[in-house]
Amino acid sequence: MAYSTLTKRIEFSASHFYRNPVWDEARNKHVFGACYQEHGHNYLLEVTVGGRVDPVTGMIINLYDLKQIVTDVLEEFDHKHLNLDTPYFESMIPTTENLALILWRKFRARPETQDLRSIRLFEGEDLWAELSTPLAPEATVSIEDYPEPSKACISRRYSLSINSSKGAIHTLGSHLSIDVSVFGTIDSSTGRVTDISLLDELINTHLIYRFNGKNISQDPAFQSQPITLLTLAQSLWPFLEPVAGGQLAKISIKNQNETRVEYTGVPLAVS
C-alpha cells in the first residue's frame, strides 16, 4: 500500500508582542526591537499529514475533513491576541517558532492528524518557521516515538536585482529570490532559533550591498568560475555560516524563469 502526504494551507490573523517577563524594558527592546511593540500578522499555515493511501478512496484522508480539522484548531487563535487571549503564551513568547510548536501539539493531539509530517507557518511572505518529523515514510521506527520536533527551521526571503548589462554574461537572470534557512533549538529565553536582525546584517553585507544592481561578473568571486545559481549559493555559504544561534541549513535561490537551486553546504560525494 502506497504511502503519501497531503498538505492543507489556511490563512488566519493574530496579534502579539515579544517580551520576556524576567527582563527589564530596556533589554526587551534591545533584544526584540520592533517586535517588542504590539503588532499583528496575516499568517499562512501549511499542515502536512502522512499515511497509507486507501485503495478504495485513493486518499489518506478526505481533504474536506482535513480542512475542517485545521479550521477547528485555528479557531482558538484566529483574530486573537496571542499574549492576552490564549493560555499558551503565559510562559512562552509567541514567536513564529513557538506558535508553530503549539500548533504542532494541537494537531498531534487529534487522532486524525497524529501522523503529522510537517508544519510550516508563514508570518509573512519573507519569514516562516517549519517543524517536521525526522522520520522517512519507509522508517521502521514508530511515529509515536517522535511526539514533537526538538528543533525548528526558520527561513528568511531576500530579493536581489542584478545588472544584466552587456558583458555580464551569466545564467542567473536579473531578479533573484533567495531563501536562507537556519536550523536549531528554540531558545527558551527568546522563543527564537536565530536573531533575524543579525541574519539581515549578514545578508546586507555579503549579498545586497555586494551584488544588488551591480555587474556580478566583476566580482572577484566569479573571476575564475562560471556565474550560476549554484556558484552564487556556494559563494554566499561561508559568509552566512557565522549566523547567531542555530546552524545555517540551506540557501535556496530562484530566478524569474522559475529555475531553482538548493544548496546545503555539504560537499558532493566523489565516486
Q: Which grid coordinates are listed for 240?
A: 552566512
Exactly one of 16, 41, 97, 123 is catalytic; name it. Answer: 123
Write phi, then psi, for 106 (nearest 5 degrees): -65, -45
Q: Which of 112, 119, 121, 154 is nearest to 133 (CA)?
A: 119
Q: Give catalytic status of residue 35 as yes or no.
A: yes
- Chain centroid to Cα 88, Å, comes to 22
What is the sign, positive or negative, of the torsion defined by CA atoms of 167, 173, 176, 181? negative
> Of 11, 38, 39, 79, which is the active-site residue?
79
- Phi and psi (nearest 5°) for 31? -75, -45
List CB contacts of 98: < 8 A, sequence separation 6 or more: 89, 92, 186, 191
Catalytic residue among 16, 35, 153, 170: 35
Query: Do the Cβ atoms of 210 and 158 come closer than 8 Å?
Result: no
- Write out the catalytic residue numbers: 35, 79, 123
